[in-house]
Chains A and B, each alone.
Chain A
Amino acid sequence: MEGVLPINQVVSEVEQQEYIINMGPQHPSTHGVLRFLLSLKGEVVQYVQPHCGYIHRGIEKMTEKITYPQIIHLTDRLDYLSAHMNNEAVSLCVENALQIEVPERVKYIRTIMAELSRLASHQLWWAAFGMDLGALTTFFYGLRDREYILDIFEQTTGSRLTQSYNCPGGLMNDIHPDFQKKVKEFIKNFRKVLPEYNQLLTGNVIFHERTKGIGLLSKEDAISFGVTGPSGRGSGFSCDLRKSHPYSAYDKVDFKEILYTEGDTFARYQVRMDEMLESMNIIEQLIDNIPEGDYALKMKAIIKLPEGEYYQRVESARGEFGVHIISDGNKNPYRVKFRSPNFSNLSAIDSMARGFKIADLVAISGSLDLVIPDLDK
C-alpha cells in the first residue's frame, strides 16, 4: 500500500485485508521458537497456523547412525522436561525387543523418577502458565519448588535437566544413599506449598474469568487430534497409559486417573494440579518399598535387536510418548520414530483458538504446555 490512495479505496482495501500477525518465533509466550501465524479480526483470532521446525535437529535421522544405548541421550533432548520418561520409553522398547525382564528395583526407581519428573514438569508449567496470564509471581514460586527436585536428580544422576538415567537393561547407576530421605522431605514440603499455589492462582476471580470456557476441545476432537496427557484428560479423554497399559511399577501402585469433562483451559489446569497430588501419592507408595537388588542387568557391549518392529508407549508429562523402532538386526536401528505428544497437541490449537482473542490464544497454548524441541524433533 505504498503511495497515494484515495480515501474510499483505502476503506475498501482495509475491509478486504486480513490482519495477519506473526506470533513468534521469538515471542515470550510461545515458550521457545514456535511461530503462530494469526489472522485477526479486531482482537479475535480467525485462524491459527502453527509453523514449527525452528529447532528441527533431525534426531530421527541421527538415530539411524548410532547404537541403541546412544539413542537414550538424544531422547533427553526431545522433551527436556520429561527426559526421564523419554529415556524410559526407549529402554523399555529395547528390553521388550530383547525379551528381558529388568529387576524389580529398577522398575521402582524408574517409576519414582518418572513421577518426580512429572512433578517438576508440572511445576514449571504452572509457573509459566501464570506468567502467560500476566501473574508474574507464580513463575518464581514454581521454579523455587522445582529446584528441590532438580537437586534430587543432580545428586543421583549427576545432571539436572537431561538426566539420561535409564539405559537398556536398567539404570546408569544406583540411587544416592540420601535419595529416599530427600524425596520424602520434598514431598512433605510440597504438600504444604501446593495450597499456596491454589491460593495465589486457582482461586483468583480474574484467573477463572480468563480460563473458564476458553479454548474448548470436545472429547471427540481430543481423540481425533490425538490430544493426550493432561490436555486430553481435561476433555474427558481417558488416555492415561499408566492406567490402561501399565509399565514399570505402575501396576503395583494405587492411583486415580484424573479426568475432567469441561474441555476448557481451566479443566486442563485442574488436571495438572490434581496430577501433582496423584504423583506424590504414587511416590509415597513406592519410596519406602524399593526392593534391594541390582540396579541394572548385565548387558552385552553391543546391543543388537532381532529383526522386526517394536513399539513402546509411555505416559510422559505432556501425553503419550511413543517409540517405534524398526530393526534390521544391526547394532543401529533401521528407522526410529518418536511419537511426540506435543506435536499432536499442537495440531488441535487451530480448532481450539478460533473465535477467541489473542489473550486467550496465549492462555490456550499455555494450557497445552508445549515444549518446542519435542515437537520439532
Chain B
Amino acid sequence: MPFDIYDLSTFTHWIDTSLRAGMSPFWAVFTEFVLVGVVFLAFYAVVGLFLVYAERRICAFMQCRLGPNRVGPGGIFQTIADLIKLLFKELIYIKNADKILFNIAPFIVIIASFLALAAIPFGKGLQAMDFNIGIFYVVAVSSIGVIGILLAGWSSNSKYSLIGALRSGAQIISYELSVGLSLIVIVILAGTMQLSEIVEMQRDGWFIFTGHLPAVIAFIIFMIASTAEINRGPFDLAEAESELTAGFHTEYSGIKFAFFFLAEYMNMFIVASIAATVFWGGWMPLHIGSWEGFNHAMDFIPPFIWYLGKTAVIIYLIMLFKWTFPRLRIDQLLTLEWKYLLPVNLFNVLLMAFIVLKGWHF
C-alpha cells in the first residue's frame, strides 16, 4: 500500500523500544508521558495562535478590511504580541467572588479540551491514545468543559456572568444530544467506535459519500450542533457581547481570560477534527472508485496534510457561520434543538440502521 510509507507507528514503536532498552520500564513510560505532554502543549499553543490569527484574517476578509498586517510579515506575529500582552495584564480579583472556583474554572475548560485532543488520530500511528470507544470518550470528555463555564459564571458574582452561564449550560446540555446522536449514525455505519478503525474503514470512500443521505444529514446536524456546543456564533449566546457584554467571562482578565479564549479555539479545532475524522475520512486520502492513477497520486500527499486540510476547511466553514449570521435568541436556540434537530436526528438513526441492515451502503 503506497500510503503506508507515511505510517508513523513504526517510528513511535522505535522510540518506545529504544527508550525501554535504555532505562527501567517505569522511567521509559514516564519519559513517554512527558514527551507526549510536551508535544501536545506545543501543538496546543501553535494551533491556538494560528487559529486566532486565521480567525482575524478571515473575519477581516468577510468585513472588507485587512486585518492584522503590521506585526511581522502579513501580521503573523500579531497573536504572539497579543499573547505577550495578555500575559502581562493584571489579573483582576473580584470582591465577594468565590476565589477558588473563580480560579479553577478556566483550568477545567482548558483541561477538557486537552483531554479530547488525546484521542484524535492525526495520522496513521499518530494518536496519543487509541481507545476502542474513541468517539464516546471524546463526547464524554468534552461534556466536562461546560462545568468550567458554569463555575466561571457563578463564581464571578456578576449578574451578566450568571445569565451567560445559565444560557451556556442549557445550550450545551441540549446540543450534546444532537452531537452524540449524529455521531451514532456513523457508529452504526462503521460498527465501531474506535477512531483509528473508523478512519481505516474510509480507505475506499469517506463516510459522507458512502453513507448515502443519512450521513449527509448527520454531517449537517453535527456541524450545527457542534457549533452550538462550542459557543460560537450564531450560537454564542453565552457571551453575546451585545446583550451580556461578555457573558460568563465578563469578570476575567489577563491570562485567565486567555485560557477561555484559547479553549474556545481549541474546542473549535477539536470539533473540526472530529468532523473531519468521522465524516471526511480523517487522514485518509481522497479515493474515487476505480481511478487507480488518481488514487495513487492522492496517496503521495502525506496523511497529516490531508488531516489538517480537512480540519482547516471545516474550521473555515465554522468561521463563516460566525461572521455571517445574526445571533439566535435562547428560546429559538432550544426550539431548534428540541423541535427540529433531535427528531430529525432520531429518524436519521433509524434510517441509517435500516440502510446498514439492508446492506445498501457502499
Contacts and interface: CB of A to CB of B under 8 A. Distances in A.
Q: Do chains A and B touch in the complex (CB under 8 A)?
A: yes
Interface string A41-83: 0010000000000000000000000000000000000000000
Interface in B297-336: 323-332
B65 interface: yes
B84 interface: no
B251 interface: no
A43 B65 CA distance: 36
Interface residues of B, number: 29
Contact of B328 (A141, A209, A362): A209
Interface string A200-215: 1100101101100000
A205 B64 CA distance: 23
A362 B328 CA distance: 12
B240 A140 contact: no
Interface stretch (A130-138, A273-281, A311-319): A130-138
Contacts of B62: 137
A375 B323 CA distance: 33
A357 interface: yes
Interface string B233-253: 110110011111100000000
Contact of A360 (B160, B167, B323, B329): B329
B325 A358 contact: no
B327 A359 contact: yes
A265 to B, nearest CB: 12
Contacts of B224: none
B317 to A, nearest CB: 16
B242 A29 contact: yes
Interface in A70-124: none
B243 A141 contact: no
Contact of B159 (A21, A29, A210, A359): A21
A357 B323 CA distance: 24
A28 B62 CA distance: 22
Contacts of A204: 325-326
Contacts of A21: 159-160, 163
B243 A362 contact: yes
B326 A43 contact: no
B63 interface: yes
Interface string A119-158: 0000000000011111111011100100000000000000
B236 A134 contact: yes
A140 B159 CA distance: 31
Contact of A201 (B160, B323, B326): B326
A28 B250 CA distance: 13
Given A141-B64, A209-B332, A357-B331, A29 B326 contact: no
B324 A134 contact: no
Most buried by B among A19, A136, A362: A136
A19 B163 CA distance: 11
Nearest to B325: A206
A215 B58 CA distance: 34
A188 interface: no
Interface in A176-219: 200-201, 204, 206-207, 209-210
A160 interface: no
A245 interface: no
A28 B163 contact: no
A362 B245 CA distance: 12
A130 B159 contact: no
Given A28-B242, A140-B64, 13 more contacts: A21-B159, A21-B163, A27-B245, A28-B241, A43-B330, A134-B233, A134-B240, A134-B327, A135-B327, A204-B325, A210-B326, A210-B329, A358-B244
11 contacts: A28-B242, A28-B245, A29-B243, A134-B242, A136-B233, A139-B63, A206-B328, A206-B332, A210-B329, A210-B332, A358-B243
> 5 tightest CB-CB pairs across the interface, nearest first?
A134-B327, A140-B63, A133-B326, A135-B326, A29-B242
